[in-house]
Amino acid sequence: MSILSSETILYHTSYTIIDCIDLSKCKSLNDFGRGFYLTTAKEQAIRFVNAAIRKGGRDVSHGYILAYEINNYGGLSAFEFEATDANWLHCICGYRRGIASVCKLWDGYDLIAGKVANDDTNATITFYLNGAYGEVGSNEAVAAALKQLRPEVLENQICMKTHPAIDRLQLIGYETVEKYG
């Protein structure tokens, strides 16, 4: 089932409450490039609290799970990875490494959706990019990396890349979540 067809409530994790989304403050070397990242999985958002606090560079004891509503995606140019496959892997690797020739394939979209490559997947992606599974881009290396990533357990993410996409979001509430560990 498409992520973009069924969900109207999306979650974002942050060290602060975000009333006005500023794309210029978003980092560019993320899974789907510069953008505002959300998920339909509230549990995933909660798991990202420590990472959000760390990335924010703040010494605080809690973060926030922000809930946004989106009424429709109509009129937006959207790309959804329906499978965690070679294209998904190369998109993530391309954006994380800033490889322009790869990124240009997806740069024209208002939003990109697909599985998240979270902190648990970083080692596998690094091994893949360093040739540990074979020649980068080869069918064997891709298959080995995807098997290690266990795509069946990865949650989803939606990257809002443009102002027209961001303008569709409305903050409807937030929840304070204590830092753990």
CATH class of 3-178: alpha beta
- Which of 171, 71, 61, 159 lies closest to 109 in space, CA to CA? 159
Angle subtended by helix axes 86-97 and 139-149, to nearest 10: 90
Whole-model pTM?
A: 0.90
Amino acid present at 179 = K
What value, to the nearest 5°, has the Cα angle with vertex 64 and ends 62 and 68?
175
In the chain, domain spans: 3-178
Segment among 22-26, 116-120, 125-129, 156-160 with least mean pLDDT: 116-120
Place of tokens 């496959």: 85
Place of tokens 């510069």: 34
Summarize the confidence of residues 125-135 as an average pLDDT: 93
Predicted pLDDT of residue 57: 67
Average pLDDT, the chain: 88
Please state, in angstroms and rounded to a whole number, the distance separating the CA atoms of residues 65 and 130: 35
Predicted pLDDT of residue 72: 82
Please state, in angstroms and rounded to a whole number, the distance separating the CA atoms of residues 90 and 83: 13
The proportion of the chain whose per-residue pLDDT surpasses 90, expressed as a percent, equals 49
Tokens of 129: 């990019």
Which segments of 46-155 are extended strands (E)? 62-70, 78-80, 111-115
Please state, in angstroms and rounded to a whole number, the distance separating the CA atoms of residues 64 and 46: 8
Predicted pLDDT of residue 58: 67
pLDDT digits (tens, 9 = 90+) for 26-53: 988 889 999 999 999 998 888 888 777 7
Segment among 54-58, 81-85, 105-109 with least mean pLDDT: 54-58
Residue with the bigger pLDDT between 56 and 138: it is 138
Question: In Å, what is the CA distance from 20 to each residue of 13, 34, 54, 167?
Answer: 14, 16, 21, 10
pLDDT at residue 176 greater than cutoff 60: yes
Summarize the confidence of residues 95-100 as an average pLDDT: 88
pLDDT at residue 1 greater than cutoff 90: no
